[in-house]
Copies of this chain bind each other. A is one copy, B any other.
Amino acid sequence: MIDKALSGDVRAIARLISEVESETPRSEEIMRAMYPHTGRAHIIGVTGSPGSGKSSLVSKMIGTLRRQGKTVGVIAVDPSSPFSGGAILADRIRMQEHSGDPGVYIRSMGSRGSLGGLSKTTYEGALILDACGKDVVIIETVGVGQSEIDIVRIADTVCLVLVPGMGDDMQIMKAGIMEIADLFVINKADREGADKVAAEVRLMIKMFHTGDGWIQPVKMTSAATGAGLDELHDTIEGHLKHVRSSEEGAERLKKRLQWEVEEIVRRRIAKITESAWRERREERVIEKLLNKETDPYRVAQEVLDSAMGDFRSGQLL
């Protein structure tokens, strides 16, 4: 299965991503096999508010890349239901125009659990597509939460999509995504107010820019008409060249590896503590908390002690 996927077999790739997404016992083995083959693809993060037209823009970007003969993988991250754990309605509505093209692989992935699960499986999905030979991997996320910030951190090039008329302009800055964007895309640029948004963004870039390195370009596009798409593509390519040749880019790769290790550590610890906590919960600890016979700090320490006991006895790793 792994060999098949590495040679580009779409079904095998889909299976690997599913195993990793559901965190089956094989998922670590899969990722270790992928690891030596990673680092070739250009990983592009596309993020922006709901309603900014990200999906349509990504669909157009795929078209441009395909005309240049490049293969493309897309991971579309859907914040999922906190109850069902699955992505909602994602596959049905997304980028259907490329569904018949064997050079394009599109995958929706949901977030899961509250123990920091969103980003790791998404990232692993992107690594699988990279290892299995996609020239470009696009990660599309809604750009507000911390998880989304984590995801765009791992991309070579981060595009922040803005749109005129979304109301409070401050939101761009409040979301903290301003600083992680490598370039800004003003989408729906035929709408009234596009020039104003672009001017504001350019002003902010000037205010925040610290001297050296990459100056974030601001590009106008219309995913509906296709206007500006070629120029956007050239800018993204230019950024990759910058990343691959600069000190800034090397620093970024180091940070990515660091983040990757941290994610694995976090995941493993989550497993240990979840199990320790499950045991304690059965001992009516919640009732004791409700009656204020104990407090959350004491219970947390008990869970930790028990988890460390499990770790020592080798039960869980």
Q: A interface vs B, CB < 8 Å?
A: 28, 31-32, 35-36, 49-53, 78-83, 88-90, 93, 111, 114-116, 118, 142, 144-150, 153, 163, 166-168, 170-171, 173-176, 178-180, 253-254, 257-262, 264-266, 268-270, 273, 277, 281, 285-286, 289-290, 292, 295-297, 299-301, 303-304, 307-308, 311-312, 317
Contact: A114 with B173, CB < 8 Å? Answer: no
List, in ascending order, chain B residues with CB within 8 A of A116's CB.
Answer: 115-116
Whether B146 lies near A89 (C-beta < 8 A) is no
- Give min CB distance, A45 to chain B, whole Å: 13
Q: Is the CB of B269 within 8 A of A273?
A: yes
Query: Which residues of chain B are within 8 angstroms of A80 by Cβ–Cβ distance?
Result: 176
Residue of A93, A150, A168, A285 with highest tally of chain B CB at under 10 A: A168
With A28-B297, A146-B145 as contacts: A304 and B175 at CB distance below 8 Å: no
Give chain B residues whose Cβ lies under 8 Å from the Cβ of A259. 114
- In the assembled complex, the Cα of A317 lies from the Cα of B286 at a distance in Å of 23
Tell me the minimal C-beta distance from A54 to chain B in angstroms: 10
CA distance A32 to B261 in the complex (A): 33
| Most chain B CB neighbours (cut-off 10 Å) among A148, A173, A289, A290 | A289
CA distance A79 to B180 in the complex (A): 13
CA distance A178 to B80 in the complex (A): 11
| Contact sample, A vs B, 26 pairs, CB 8 Å cutoff | A28-B297, A32-B297, A49-B51, A50-B166, A50-B167, A50-B174, A51-B171, A78-B174, A83-B179, A89-B170, A89-B173, A114-B146, A114-B262, A116-B116, A142-B145, A144-B144, A144-B145, A144-B148, A145-B145, A147-B147, A265-B277, A265-B303, A266-B273, A268-B301, A301-B317, A308-B308
Within 8 Å CB of A261, what residues of B? 277, 285, 289, 296, 299-300, 303
A171 CB, nearest partner CB in chain B, Å: 4
Known: A32-B297, A89-B170, A114-B150. 17 other contacts (CB 8 A): A36-B292, A49-B49, A50-B166, A79-B146, A82-B176, A115-B116, A116-B116, A142-B145, A144-B144, A146-B146, A146-B147, A253-B290, A254-B286, A258-B281, A258-B286, A261-B299, A269-B273
The answer, among B153, B176, B299, for a CB contact under 8 Å with A88, is B176
Give the distance in Å from the alpha carbon of A289 to the alpha carbon of B261 in the complex. Answer: 10
User: Are the CB atoms of B144 and A50 closer together than 8 Å?
Assistant: yes
